[in-house]
A and B are shown apart, each in its own frame.
Chain A
């Protein structure tokens, strides 16, 4: 396991199979897909940034890397992907075995280039378009107002800011108009095209409208003057923006008591997209949407205004009885396409007790690499802290980057089925793209409008090498090569390219099982399976995730386990695989698979986060970590089992979205008695403090900020812990556990699950 982590710290890559099956058939037998979970711009403290453009292969355009075979004498390098011989250009004249350029250093398999010539022109400043819902109650409005004005104070001075508010109608605020507050008001029910928008917002007053061609941005004919009506440097518009926010009212249109407010989220987003598309196409602009309720108007409405009609549930979606869903998704797919085309990002801050339509918006947020935060209220710390984090600089900044393009090169026997993660296919179809598509596929290049330093993609590969008849004959090389190229606009405004080149051994033929097992990264495998099952649940009708997962697990175990046929007790798994069934057990119980406890919005939210997080965080989502604190021992990990509960312990559960500090009954009593504030019970105070300190440090570095729940045994909030625990003791259990807690569930416990697994595997 450690070696996988080491590889990750070098390249940001985790692969379920670090030794690859050599043929298509063997790959199929492996059950868990050949995949790479890659964090494209993971920061590496020691990674050099080269001040020049990368050297590329003449034919396959791959970048010079440590795996290239270099002939120092002839000044020639051979591309490991296509075996093309390339001459070094004159500036490499001085290279020798002793004198290597950094990109050839073996340890720099990941390296960045930042060539000064590629500076983007004027679009370097970040652009923030705030899209604010006003159909919210006054209290929420006050929260939102203060959160926004805090955020605005944190904006970098050179960033450009725009503001759109919406409710029944869409208000585009012309912040550059000095004399009074001026807004353009668009009808909520009507989608506006970019051309109409340009026309209606008088962008062509001073110039004749170009007869043809797409008009966009300063380069293409819009005067900076007219752009600066709506997008102003943060340093200039602070006052205007703050005064608009101060006077921001709730949507004044009356809402009958039996109706939902008229909220045209989709139109507002569309207007924002068009405006940005007109003003700053191609620059990394973010649309930050603050939504406080369900969209009821316009093409992206998710529910009718009539309150008697409930918002769609998973059941409705399954039964296809959510009349608005497909239309809204289609709309947001269109919006996503537009935003990807323009290189803009949609961030979603959804804060409502009700659903707001995250499930529909997911496609737009995910394809553009936007951030998403789901909270109950704009006053909730999950929202407030998360928003602050977006703009915070320093240790915990998100490292927001934009305008990314992700490209891939691999050895010829491997093709890419697609990426599950926050990106959009650029449709660059080539030899590399597989015919079977998973996620964003059919391409070897992806657009990543927005990304941050933890954005993680899951690439799914397809081994296409056919079974060769002469099995014994080992080919000249048993290495597969992968190269990931990420072009992006760094937070400092410069364009950069990161090249990560990997090499993995492949094996084939009999006796390869052990090799494969040795290269099996069960965490990465679990994460890949989680992303895959989520994806399949979304796109495949009638998909039964439990069955699929069980079959996969059984297949995997029968493939890689050791056992005698029909003897369950003889079954054993290599340590490399031993925790995988446990991950699967928890994955089956997780919010990703068991969706019926959650709303479609929540599910979409969880999946979006899963799809953008790295392996470690994803594992926490699948199988939360549990740490136990007691007087008897130092903090130690505890089994995620109801047995871990004990009256004199504190448990810290991290399920990624929620961090629970759980005080055992005795601890809670003592705390209520106030012992921790008594001099003689210092130890107790420390015990109390330790888990909350740990929780704080988790909260601090995570985005979105998790919900922190502090609860006591038998308290109502304890459900956040109990729901995650293995139900080894339920109300059916004969002998209660010493901890005194049982779970009211009919779910099978892990032991039962394993029993079944063994039995089925050996059949």
Chain B
């Protein structure tokens, strides 16, 4: 803990105030998800600050503080704030022996020992302090299989860092004990982190102790490293490369005490290719005898998440450091490039030519999440105030100053890394250069040493005063909403959430209800009670008051409470079944027009009258599977342009709309979702709505919605270095001019995909930079520019592209593109497209990078070895399930359009864990036990399983579960009992406690209050559960994972031979 100096250049100046939305409190997230039914012990899943000392700012915050705002006192940038020398900006090193969290995932019941973490991690020996230099370590991990390697599954042992569980099939060789990696300690190149070797040992070395869920080690014999790479890869011993790789695996907890020299990470990139080969066929029979059964399902690639925290420097040795997997737990130190949370590229090296990219079959795109939630231990983003002049920018391309602008001529001029133009350095910004050619002040100036900084915007960046934080709630009070309890749930949620709105005089609130008319409320304080103002004309709407409908929250708290309490009773006996959704949002918009702000709509039925009324396009209760209905996908398109036009107008006036759909019926999300999509909002979907199940979720969703880091009236633009240009932006925003996207609202959960294209050749070895500038207004009314810069090397080597491919990002690109296709293309075509994407990449790899391999093997690039699995999962996902309900699919499509990478993966590839034996499962630091493969083989009748995808959480109860366990965990005596409306409670027994802990931890991780559903075999709910097990064969024609691999393999073989 005493880490005196972080590895990065220590910051001389004290950290400035945190960026407005920075999450100060590590507990904040967890606290945000309150399971009201849970009685979670306060400390059960609060994350302790990783350091002995609290993080600089959280110290003043009570543990239960909500996430959004930090203590007001911290807002002003303390020009001479209290220096916190002991707390270097990069807090990562402080992370304690992450023992509790750093559990190696795959082996649930690994026998504690040999290399039990704490002990196995002697901080000594110059071991790399960061447990996992994941990508940087890649070079070594190439497992070469002897050429005569037995056929079978081959994985180059060092699994891509993405899946730290790679070792599952990694160990080559016939016996684990002999596995080349089997003896890592010894093999570890001297000086290279012996401890890791120790850490690794348990995995490889004692497989016999593997827990029951874990694939038996016997499978190992079919896994062999294969030679994939060019010969030079061979140079490394089979083992040696592996060791460092493994070191990262079990999430070696960061060693606070041992500050590694940075170079430890910056190992020179290896030239080898990594790959995984699977040969579905024994022998060289080609594709004729696929014999899928020959493939051991336990050996095929699967994600093995690590729960250990990875420490990641964005640049090392002046080179971009490939980021850890998006889904892993990592702590970033910004050493020049931005944190991968804010911006990731699908490939971590940029192909020099368009042809090269085309050949690879891969996508070139950025996933930008400009306000992403940082890890609590990360250094906050620095705020830079250039005073009246505003930030230094390139005079030609208007790119913002960043660490890659090259200062020349004694610092008098600088060359823009984006457009190549040479600018004069502004006089007051001048500084001499040091011997290394850098400005002498580079390390003191965040904008010259950090990939992400936030500039204080000057008047020049404002067309008006920064807008206040306006929150307008619009609640459906039609008969249906009242009767299902949706109105009451919404009102009570809002009532509680009022307290979570940003403090301050600039926070304004308004409220309106609607059925066949729109009811506004005058909340002016002088009134004795709120006054209800009804706008009855739902064809031609207007706002009933210019002011007083939206008032500062501090002035109307009492009125609001009174009103929210009385709304459900006020409409108790309503007989109005109509709902004028379109008119209502239009009217609310008119009320907000002068300021802009967030409009949160609670809608329960199909909008039936007034402006933007919709027709029940989907006959209720009939699924659209009805064959021959070729136009079925049209139902996924908006019904007409009315709402779209409205949305564009909203966006123009900076109104961001979130829609909370609490319904039991079809509401035409395809049409409704256009509004949130265009205005930078979000759709929340509670279907079938149940007061019991969803009230709490509604509250938590709403709470997170208003309290999460966010900005208003934002404009975003991505600039690229010469040679590359932005092709298109995808996400929830409004676009009026080609170069910028308008975001009336932007928050930490929203990601925008930016596809790129070449317009010129790039220089091999040069760097190509991407800069995302987000101009926005914080909830406190400060105008800021968040500038995120990523500079990546260019390459003309195809195998480099495969090696540096970012699976998660790559796949999320597919996902988002597929989601866009679904409404306009028949589902079969989309599936085919998706499959072809996958095949083309693999084919390219096979063709150009793995020519040595036998044709009987399916060769997968190491970095992309999970692509087939994810592709399969995508094909089977809700959005592509033609038998699915239209609204479910529309919701999925909408959700995907703005989803961030870390949330997208579980959406498609959910996590399943066994919970019946939680209390007996080995606790290895992580609260959540290791996930199971999504296959029904892993679901036994005696077990209880939990499956979550970040949105829903299904608890499956097998047929013959021990009633005691059932009673203990769920509080029901038998599987048959307990209604569908099931609420998890905490009972006084270890199993129940543990279960609640796990669920809360999942909620924290997902930033989402998952809705729990009880599923039973033989029931509809059980079917729903099994539909998530994507490795299974689906009777209606979906291939199993193994079959899918065979299918892909055959396709590749066909294309190879043709």
Contact = CB atoms under 8 A, between A and B. Distances in A.
B548 interface: yes
Interface string B849-870: 0000000000000000000000
Interface centre among B532, B534, B566, B576 (most CB of A within 10 A): B534
A342 to B, nearest CB: 21
A206 B575 contact: yes
Interface string B525-545: 011111111111110101011
A174 B570 CA distance: 14
Given A171-B533, A180-B532, A202 B517 contact: yes
Contact of A183 (B524, B531, B576): B531
B607 to A, nearest CB: 17
Interface in A199-235: 200-202, 205-206
Contacts of B529: 180-181
A183 B527 CA distance: 14
A252 B534 contact: no
A202 B532 contact: no
Interface in A236-257: 243, 247, 249, 252-254
A174 B536 CA distance: 13
B537 A201 contact: no
A200 B610 CA distance: 11
Interface in B528-583: 528-538, 540, 542, 544-548, 563, 566, 569-570, 575-576
B527 to A, nearest CB: 5
Interface in B502-536: 516-517, 520, 524, 526-536
Contacts of A206: 575
A252 B528 contact: no
Interface string A163-206: 00000110100100101111111110010100010001110011
Contacts of B569: 179
A421 B544 CA distance: 40
Contacts, number: 76
Give the interface centre of A183, A184, A185 by most chain B CB atoms within 10 Å.
Answer: A185
A182 B530 CA distance: 9
Contacts of A183: 531-534, 544
Contact of B542 (A169, A196, A243, A252): A169
B517 A247 contact: no
A174 B566 CA distance: 17
Nearest to A185: B544
B532 A252 contact: no
A181 B532 contact: yes
Contacts of A205: 575-576
Contacts of B535: 184-185
Contacts of A181: 527, 529-532
Contacts of B544: 169, 171, 183, 185
B829 to A, nearest CB: 46
Given A181-B531, A247-B528, A200 B537 contact: yes
A168 B542 CA distance: 11
A85 to B, nearest CB: 61
B546 A190 contact: no
A201 B519 CA distance: 12
Contacts of B536: 184-186, 200-202
Interface of B is mostly: loop
Interface string B291-317: 000000000000000000000000000
Contacts of A179: 566, 569-570
Contacts of B545: 252
Of the listed residues A174, A180, A184, A200, the one surrounded by the most CB atoms of chain B closer than 10 A to its CB is A180
A247 B516 CA distance: 27
Nearest to B522: A181
A164 B576 CA distance: 24
Contacts of B534: 174, 182-185
Contacts of A182: 531-534
A186 B570 contact: no
A202 B537 contact: no
Nearest to A188: B542
Contacts of A200: 517, 536-538
A185 B533 contact: yes
A190 B528 CA distance: 31
Nearest to A192: B537
Contacts of A174: 534
A202 B576 contact: yes
Contact of B531 (A180, A184, A201, A202): A180
A96 B527 CA distance: 73
B13 to A, nearest CB: 47
A243 B528 contact: yes
A206 B575 CA distance: 7
A151 to B, nearest CB: 22
A55 B707 CA distance: 83
Given A185-B544, A202-B576, A247 B531 contact: yes
Which of A169, A196, A243 is packed against the most chain B CB atoms within 10 Å?
A169
B613 to A, nearest CB: 14
Contacts of B547: 252
A580 B576 CA distance: 69
A535 B848 CA distance: 102
Given A180-B530, A202-B576, A253-B546, A187 B517 contact: no
Contacts of B546: 168, 252-254
Contacts of B528: 243, 247
Nearest to A180: B529
Contacts of B548: 252
A185 B591 CA distance: 14
Interface of A: 168-169, 171, 174, 177, 179-187, 190, 192, 196, 200-202, 205-206, 243, 247, 249, 252-254
Interface of B: 516-517, 520, 524, 526-538, 540, 542, 544-548, 563, 566, 569-570, 575-576
27 contacts: A171-B544, A179-B570, A180-B530, A180-B531, A180-B563, A180-B570, A181-B527, A181-B530, A181-B531, A183-B531, A183-B532, A184-B533, A184-B535, A185-B533, A185-B534, A185-B536, A185-B544, A186-B536, A187-B540, A190-B540, A200-B536, A200-B538, A243-B528, A247-B526, A247-B527, A247-B531, A249-B524
Given A184-B535, A185-B534, 18 more contacts: A169-B542, A180-B529, A180-B531, A180-B563, A180-B566, A181-B527, A182-B534, A183-B534, A184-B536, A185-B535, A186-B536, A192-B537, A200-B517, A200-B537, A200-B538, A205-B576, A252-B546, A252-B547
4 cross-chain pairs, A with B, having the tightest CB-CB distances, nearest first: A200-B536, A185-B544, A182-B532, A181-B531
